[in-house]
Structure 1
């Protein structure tokens, strides 16, 4: 049986392609040890902060003012799937801390199952966000027809069903391997080696090559349309300045800016890891029949660095939403700050009923709510 923990932690690591320790033709040097140490220490931090951020983002996207917007449902689905992926990753990270719950029968299978499910859903929700942005920018007259909450719900349910069908195999192809020293390891059953190999390469196509190509292909006309829009705005800049016409950006343009940022950040953080993962897979296939097969120091170090960026793609999304999503930022402040300010203010009023004149108050997070004294 082959261990799964390193494959999860490594994503693009040698274990993901059934590579053996002999695949490394060098003793770990200083750079490799430093990269490994950084990865092991920063990954749990990424998981904890990412889970908190994704939960907060989910609350905002499913709030009353946003849950009827199709792209909000996709982003809420992505936040939930990213949360699931980070939780499973954190469970595996606990093994390095001596908390060996991952190598328990039942938990082992469920963790692997959720890793595949959440990874699949996360990337395809980004694809749907990109598709919706493409429609909004390149086919604006079809927005009301295709970009609806009802359509989004149907698509989300469809992807969940597909994921359950495609990735139920860990529930019956993995188990606990007991070593000669009594140690227990979550591992693949060797009897299912062919199935696992087929699934590994199929998963690479389904969750890596096809989605990335779709996003890149859709981003080309999106960027072209945005450049055309900026060119038109530059031509009209003089007229607007002379006529003192300062029109605020439309809600549609603000939505497209957020969706574009989501797609762009996703590509920037995941593409390096995907490229080296494909490179490793091709190298493995090429040297399968050869007696000499190994990785270089640079390949291993870059793999670990790019892997950190890959994990960040599940964790930093709330920052993207806050920076580029005007409505998200407004709702976030309203839900998590303004209401708390209002509650504290109401409590303060009850404690000061004997005061004949209440001082005028304002809230630093809202123009309509009050919470602190001037």
Structure 2
């Protein structure tokens, strides 16, 4: 998908003479790649996008509720959810545009790179990759290490203080129930999930750009596409992570639906009474 900037190679524009085994792929392989790509864009991507939009909006409503709003981590989570929702919405807009756009092979070119500015564009693309991909990933990994160290240190200090009063068994159980430990654990898992889902696609893009790889095989391009879609799932997994890890989120979600249902029932009853 061109709007993402991650796919630098199209499956339809690959040089069929440059393969690792020195021969073009079989017709069966090309048909498999074509149909798989069609299924991914036609069905899988809309599922990822609209699941992400629905889940993120629902999560925003839950974290904006009275029960979770005062918690300091909710501000961070709301910001992340809002950013993911905007990103997913941009992909949804791209889906709509791609469904009605003209075949690019028959379209009139509007914006093309001027040859004398090619070097400038080349260096700008390097700067973009470093500032938007490489640097954030490195910073996140470093901060994850600091978070892990801080959580372990906090747990150890809490255990030492509690064990002097209540014994080691109670200290172990109380450390797992510490609010800051639970919050740090969820934030840690969210960050790890982002890194795991995003790094493969980013590594491929950096490899293509920094090593100036211009021609790849059909299978390599298909693998790039798969990892690109894996990175898209980062926008739609947070709701399920909250459900699995946050007891407060599950309680607030149940309360949110109960309140919504009660308001809906009362509205129906008022309308019936007016009739």
**Normalising by the residue count of structure 2, what TM-score does the alignment of the two structures yield?**
0.74
1:7 matched residue in structure 2:
2
Alignment of 1:113-132 (within 5 A): none
- In the alignment, is residue 223 of structure 1 matched against residue 148 of structure 2? yes
Cα-to-partner distance string for 1:78-98 (whole Å, 9 max, x where unaligned): 22222222222122223453x
Give the structure with the larger helix fraction: 2
Aligned partners of 1:316 and 1:259: how far apart in 2? 13
Q: Distance in 2 between matches of 1:344 and 1:179?
A: 48
SS at match of 1:76: helix
Match of 2:38 in 1: 37
Q: How far off is 1:314 after superposition?
A: 1.2
> Is residue 151–residue 184 contact of structure 2 (8 Å, CA) maintained in 1?
no
Cα offset for 1:69? 4.1
Deviation of 1:278 after TM superposition, in Å, equals 1.1
Q: Which residue in the other structure is 1:126 paired with?
A: none
Higher relative contact order (CA 8 A, sep 6+): 2
Pair 251,349 (structure 1): closer, same or farther in 2 beyond 3 Å: farther
1:92 equivalenced with 2:66 (yes/no): no
Contact 2:155 2:181 in 1 (8 A): no
Residue 130 of structure 1 corresponds to none
Structure whose residues are more often strand by fraction: 1
Q: Which residue does the alignment assign to 2:201?
A: 273
RMSD: 3.8
Unmatched runs of 5 consecutive residues or more in structure 1: 1-5, 104-177, 288-292, 351-374
Partners of 1:252 and 1:244 lie apart in 2 by: 15
Query: Is 1:334–2:259 an aligned residue pair?
Result: no
Deviations 1:321-369 (A, max 9, x none): 222223233222222x12134446767999xxxxxxxxxxxxxxxxxxx
Alignment check: 8 A CA contact 1:212 1:267 kept: yes
2:113 corresponding residue in structure 1:
190
Ranges in structure 2 where 5+ consecutive residues have no aligned partner: 19-23, 271-275
Task: Label 1:84 to 1:346 Cα distance change in 2 as closer, same or farther (>3 A).
Answer: closer
Name which of 109, 127, 138 aligns with 1:213. Answer: 138
Does residue 257 in structure 1 map to residue 185 in structure 2?
Answer: yes
